[in-house]
A = this chain, B = another copy of it.
Amino acid sequence: MTADRPLFPALASKQEAEGGAVLAPRFGADGTITCVTLDADTAEVLMVGHMNAEALALTIETGEGWYWSRSRGELWHKGATSGNVQKVVDLRIDCDQDAVVMTVRVDGHGATCHTGRVSCFYRSVPLGQKAADGPVRLVDVGGERRFDPKDVYGKG
């Protein structure tokens, strides 16, 4: 899938990006846009990931969630190892085309977070504190756990 030309057209102008009907993602300095992944049934935010041009193109083409793993520096077919493949039911892009919201149904045991939880956002930040006054303590708000990561080899 190494293209001789870019997979997506370049952005002609801010106006065209916002009003236009052509997908022309504005990839950042690291070559990615932000992807917010939602659960189709609960509307919960499952994770925030990153897509380079190839990951976005594969997501559109296959209807499954592909990302660029910044930590591993490689293309990442989410769930390829764990079985928790993300079946995309809706994909949206924002006004300036540097972020997508992807609504999915998760295959397998349904955990998205590598800690075994359904969602990566399992801790709440209490409001009303001054950070400069000392450490802000997080509150574990649960987050359903589908497996114990100690039992799982690999990640994906």
Contacts and interface: CB of A to CB of B under 8 A. Distances in A.
A130 B57 contact: yes
A45 interface: yes
Contacts of A88: 127
Interface string A1-36: 101000111000000001011110000011000101
A156 interface: no
Nearest to A18: B115
A114 B94 CA distance: 11
B100 A125 contact: yes
Contacts of A96: 120
A60 B128 contact: yes
A141 B91 CA distance: 11
Interface in A121-152: 121-132, 135-141
Contacts of A7: 131-132
A40 interface: no
Contacts of A109: none
B23 A127 contact: no
Interface of A: 1, 3, 7-9, 18, 20-23, 29-30, 34, 36, 38, 43, 45, 47-48, 53, 56-57, 60-61, 63, 88, 90-96, 98-101, 113-115, 117, 120-132, 135-141
